[in-house]
Structure 1
Amino acid sequence: MHQHGIGEWQMQSHKCRSYCSAENCLNQAYARKLCVKHGGKRSCRFEGCQANARHAGYCCRHGPQVSKRRCQTEGCTKFAHARGLCVRHGGGRRPQYDPNEAMSASEINLDEMLMSLDAPSSLTDVVMSQDESCAVEFTAEEATALAYFLSPNPTVTGN
């Protein structure tokens, strides 16, 4: 503990800040070498209010009331987030991906996908189609990945 009764971590993070010049006060000084309690921040202009001034010389109770915008969709009473709309009506964050590119497993044409693969440099496995009239060649890594995705209960094995 240091002379002002604060810990080492506070000394490091507040080492450039001065203390209130009022007698026996250990608070951080804000303006005119005074803390909030001793006049380092302005008080609310409203008569009789001693709260700290926030905006235009008034505290949050007596200052201008900022009304939040409502969703522009007819009949909706929710608050607008972005583009004048609530989250439900499109005011939320935009997706980072193209949802039109996502495909379900039933939409994937496996034959088409396999035919689009580049010719491997080292052919180690050959997989026959169901009618055995066509053979498709894979590298060991491609064959392992394909077996994993086609198996009914895939398990991950370490190398």
Structure 2
Amino acid sequence: FPQLDLVGSYGLTGNAFEVSGALDRLRQAGGDSYSVGVVFRVPITNQAARNRRRAAQVSVEEALLDLKQLEQQIMVEIHDAVSTARSSYERVDATRASVDYAQQALDAEQKKLANGKSTSFQVLQLQRDLTASESRNIDAVTQYNAALARLAQSEGSTLERHQVTFDFDE
């Protein structure tokens, strides 16, 4: 930065060829001298400050690049989570339909058994099929809920979805 200084001095002078004569002139108080001035300094180069500024600019650019990369990574993560949730939901629909069909087949076979046109073995096989369909449906629902949780985590909305709030007014 530029600098402006006020400079001043005061002194007594005694000029003579001999020391005793110089001391006599000092006592006469006629040898006062003073000066006043202003010194203005402007640094021509400040390489250290320029280097610090350049380093700070590079740091800012790197931070912005890191931020953009993180934003892109988050967007990809959210896109993947949405795709997984969609396919999990479709699997839930398919397994629910499978449970419905297995239940209808079991009901029809039980009516046949009641009319003497089926065997208990056939009914037991259809009950086993229904249980397997229900198990696949439970697994699909579990995977769907896990996909929704991953999506909420990717979006950063887990606490909001569960109505969790914090009061920092202490």
TM bucket normalised to smaller: under 0.3
Highest Rg: 1 or 2? Answer: 2
By percentage of residues, which structure has more helix? 2
Judging by fraction of residues, say which structure has more strand. Answer: 2
Q: TM-score, normalised by structure 2?
A: 0.25
